[in-house]
Amino acid sequence: MRRYLWDDEVISREKAEETLRAGIESFDRGGFGLWSIFPVSGGALVGFCGLRCFGDESEVEVLFGIRPDVWGRGLATEAATAVLTRAFREDGLAKVYAGADASNPASFRVMEKLGMRFAEIRSTPAGETPYWVIEREEFLLRRAVSRSRQY
């Protein structure tokens, strides 16, 4: 997971604690943050997914990370779908962004499956980063259509 999120750097204990504190503060401030992903059948942590403020702090992005040994099982898409459903239905957000390193095609495939579309390139500490976006109405309509096809 750290390949893209931490530029393949092993982070210090202090950085890990800082990141955890920021997540707790995010839940206190905005009611959302990062959730752990565990297999339904039980077992070890396989990843995380959630929301965080970024940019000018009024913007929200969905983040996800899955252990490499469980890639390709749809876990990131499933988790991000649940997080976006909550973001739009319960948190009342108007839109949500997602960014990924240009060299991370798997994340872009997840964004496409979520119905997100390219928004812009932003300068970040990691360099020039493509950001995608989905608006509330787009996502909820897409979910409704998807559900109607299941019946």
Surface-to-core class of residue 73, CB atoms within 10 Å of its CB (0-12 exposed, 13-18 middle, 19+ buried): exposed
Instruction: Calculate helix-pair angle for 136-150, 75-89, nearest 10 degrees.
Output: 120
Checking if the pLDDT of 88 tops 60, the result is yes
Q: How far apart are CA 82 and CA 61, in angstroms?
A: 14
pTM of the model: 0.84
Which pLDDT belongs to residue 39?
87
Q: How far apart are CA 121 and CA 87, in angstroms?
A: 23
Read off the pLDDT of residues 104-125 as tens digits, 9 standing for 90 and up.
899 999 999 999 999 999 998 7
Q: How far apart are CA 82 and CA 29, in angstroms?
A: 21
Task: Choose between 22 and 113: higher pLDDT.
Answer: 113
In this prediction, residue 41 has a pLDDT band, given cuts at 50, 70 and 90, of confident
| Percent share of the chain, pLDDT over 90 | 54
Which pLDDT belongs to residue 8?
54
Which pLDDT belongs to residue 2?
44
Which pLDDT belongs to residue 27?
83
3 state SS of 83: helix
Least confident of 41-45, 103-107, 124-128: 124-128
Q: DSSP state, 70?
A: G
**What's the rounded mean pLDDT across residues 7-32?**
78
**Domain architecture of the chain: domains with CATH:** 2-150 (3.40.630.30)
- The H or E element spanning position 80 is helix 75-89
CA 149 to chain centre: 25
Checking if the pLDDT of 145 tops 90, the result is no
Q: How many residues in the chain?
A: 151
